[in-house]
Homo-oligomer: A and B are copies of this chain.
Amino acid sequence: MTDKLVLHEDPRSGNCYKIQLTAALLGLPLERRQYDIMRGDTRTPEFLSKVNSNGRIPVLQVGERFLPESNAACWYLGESTHLVPDSRFERADMLRWMFFEQYNHEPNIATLRFWLVYLGQGNLSPQQREQIMGKRAAGEAALKLMDEHLTGREWFVGASASLADIALFAYTHLAEAGGFSLGDHPAVCRWLDRVRKLPGFVAMDT
């Protein structure tokens, strides 16, 4: 990879951490540029016009090009490395778990952490409060499905760690901050420990 890599991030975001962790596991140098999403740093005219018109982080900058969406950025870094399976079916199956993460996992487990830890229960809108129970149930269902899948299996896809494990590790290891109990999911806990022992693993800053 010859282009310079810059991660536009908020270090409290698990989505940003996925990219940091992928780069660390691959030994890729990554410059990190920090924004405070609570202060609106990603909604400024400059950010919207230059970095991401969707107003969101993370964005991976590759030379002069900008790549939003955490899992797409992980793919960019991981393609053709040991973090992406060699078999066509397993590659697609890895993406299957990454889409599951963005559809069934992140909007529930990460959102509850954000609401409870960063916004604070007392500051939630009535619409947000109405959604807590639904997000709690959907997040629990995602953790249960992961636990069943990991029972008798070391990694989400194939015989070694892949981007699917990285994508799902990010917000799963923070789930208790959103009020989820990981102790109910022993296979998930064992898998979290396995990820933490990968060569090159880095913990999240906060």
> How many monomers of this protein are in the complex?
2
Main SS of the interface on chain A?
Answer: helix
Within 8 A of B (CB), among A54-83: 54, 62, 65, 67-73, 75-76, 79
Stretch at the interface among A35-43, A126-134, A170-178: A126-134
- A107 and B104 within 8 A (CB): no
Known A53-B148, A127-B134: A95·B75 in contact at CB below 8 Å: yes
- A65 and B89 within 8 A (CB): yes
Known A54-B145, A134-B127, A145-B54: A68·B96 in contact at CB below 8 Å: yes
Residues of the B chain whose Cβ atoms lie less than 8 Å from the Cβ of A72: 92-93, 95-96, 98-99
**Chain A residues touching B, range:** 35 or more
A67-B92, A79-B91 provided; 9 other pairs, C-beta below 8 A?
Answer: A54-B145, A68-B100, A69-B96, A102-B102, A103-B107, A107-B107, A127-B130, A130-B130, A130-B131
